[in-house]
Structure 1
């Protein structure tokens, strides 16, 4: 459903959030290791997230990526998905057809529309704080 870039971005932001909750910044190498992503690929994803103001970065010895504490509960998963994949997940066809719509539907159109609406609702109501707290408590994991 999401691109590989988007999957890595979500994992990276959750990892950054867990560190930000402890007032720590984290380097891109540590992020790449934690989310099991190639370093160069991770760096490009992180650059996009910084440009979209989802995460922030500081250069230097004590630098790294972080999210200001006040912003952690405000960032929703939908912000990350749109920053990396755009709105295709919200508008795209379940079969990948370019011209699928209510007047000219694909065989999955009506059923997929319901799933897509549920996904949108989940992404718009899930914030980073709740995901990071689940990770911190051990209820969820970024690596298996």
Structure 2
């Protein structure tokens, strides 16, 4: 459903959020290790999230990536998905067809439309704080 880049971006944002709640900034190397992503690939993803204002960064000895605490509950998963994958998850065809719509539907169109709408609802209502709190409490995990 999401690209590998998007999966890594969501994991990275959650990891950054939990550290931000603990008043810590994290470096790209630590983020890459935590989300099991290649360092160079992670750096590109972090750059994109930073450019879109989802995460922030500070250079220097005490630098790293962070999210201001007051913003953690405001950042929705939909923002991350849109920043990395665009609107494909919200509009794409279940079979990957370019011209799939109500007038020219693919065999999965009606069923996939329902799933896509549920996914959109979940992404637009789930914020990073919810996910970070689950991780912090040990109820959820980022690593296998």
TM norm structure 1: 1.00
* Consecutive unaligned residues in structure 1, runs of 5 or more: none
Aligned to 1:39: 39
Which ranges of structure 2 fall in alignment gaps of 5 or more residues? none
Give the match for residue 117 of structure 2. 117
Task: Say yes or no: does 1:80 pair with 2:68.
Answer: no
Would you say how many aligned residue pairs link Structure 1 and Structure 2? 144
- Deviation string for 1:44-98 (max 9, x for gaps)? 0000000000000000000000000110000000000000000011000000000
Runs of 4+ in 1 over 6 A off after TM superposition: none
Distance apart, 1:13 and its partner CA:
0.3
Distance 2:122 2:31 in 1: 25
- Tell me how far apart the structure 1 counterparts of residues 128 and 89 of structure 2 sit (CA, whole Å): 20
TM-score when normalising by structure 2: 1.00
Cα distance in 1 between the residues matched to 2:126 and 2:60: 32
Q: What is the alpha-carbon distance in structure 1 between the residues aligned to residue 123 and residue 100 of structure 2? A: 23
Residue 141 of structure 1, CA deviation: 0.2
Give the RMSD, CA atoms, in angstroms: 0.3
1:91 aligned to 2:91? Answer: yes
